[in-house]
Chains A and B, each alone.
Chain A
Amino acid sequence: EAGVTQSPTHLIKTRGQQATLRCSPISGHTSVYWYQQALGLGLQFLLWYDEGEERNRGNFPPRFSGRQFPNYSSELNVNALELEDSALYLCASSPVDRWAPNNEQFFGPGTRLTVL
C-alpha cells in the first residue's frame, strides 16, 4: 500500500512570494492534515480537510490556506512568505469515521520550504 506522498521535496522561495505544497493521501483516506515543523517550535497543527471542507484550523494567520480536491488530495498555499515560514511541512491522512473523528494519522515525508 502506497503511503502519503508530498511534492515537491524541497522548495526555495523569496520573501513575499507564494508557495504551493501538494499532498496525496493513502488510498481510501478521506482526511488530510497539514503540520508545520519549524526549528525550535516543534510540530504544530495547521489545517484539517475532510470531504473537501476545512474542518479545523490551527493558530496560523490567514495567509496559510489550502484546499482538498474531489480525489482527496490537498494543496497548502502560503501567501506573502516570511522568513519564519521556513520549515518542514508535513501532510498526514486518516480514514475519518464521523462518529470517531480522532483517528490515527499517517504522515508523509514532508516538503522542506526555505524562504530567503
Chain B
Amino acid sequence: AQSVSQHNHHVILSEAASLELGCNYSYGGTVNLFWYVQYPGQHLQLLLKYFSGDPLVKGIKGFEAEFIKSKFSFNLRKPSVQWSDTAEYFCAALFNAGGTSYGKLTFGQGTILTVHP
C-alpha cells in the first residue's frame, strides 16, 4: 500500500539555523506531493506543492522543497528559521494509482518544529 513517512518526530532549532525535514513516499508511479503546516491553534495550511515540472518548488514564508524521484523523497527546507516557524509540519501525497487512490491525501506522521529565540 502507498504510504508517506517523515523521519523526525520533533526537531528543535535556534533562530537563524537551517532546516531540513525529511519525507519519503512509497509508490512507483506518479504522485502529487504537498507540505502542510499547522501552527498552534490554527488549521492546516498549504506551504507548497509539487505536481510536475521543476523538482525544486518554492512555497510561502521562504520554504522550499525538492522532489527527488530516484529517492522517492520530498524534503522541506528553509535556510534560516524564525521563532514564528514553530509548528507541526505534515508531508502528504496524492497517489495517481487510479480508482480508490483518488482524492485520498495520505499524510506522514508529522514533525513538530520548535524554534528557540
Contact = CB atoms under 8 A, between A and B. Distances in A.
Given A42-B109, A102-B32, A102-B96, A107 B43 contact: yes
Contacts of A45: 103-106
B106 A90 contact: no
A42 B110 contact: yes
A97 to B, nearest CB: 11
A43 B110 CA distance: 9
A15 B17 CA distance: 47
B91 to A, nearest CB: 11
A109 B105 contact: no
B44 A90 contact: yes
Contacts, number: 56
Contacts of A31: 103
A33 interface: yes
B44 A48 contact: no
A58 B100 CA distance: 9
B43 A109 contact: yes
B46 interface: yes
Interface in A56-108: 56-58, 90, 92, 96, 101-102, 104-108
Contact of B103 (A33, A43, A106, A107): A33
A10 to B, nearest CB: 13
Contact of B44 (A42, A57, A96, A107): A107
A106 B107 contact: no
Nearest to B107: A43
Given A42-B109, A42-B110, A104 B46 contact: yes
Given A102-B94, A106-B46, A108-B43, A55 B105 contact: no
B67 interface: no
19 contacts: A31-B103, A33-B103, A42-B107, A43-B92, A45-B105, A48-B103, A48-B104, A55-B102, A56-B102, A56-B103, A57-B100, A58-B104, A90-B44, A101-B103, A104-B46, A105-B105, A107-B36, A107-B43, A109-B43
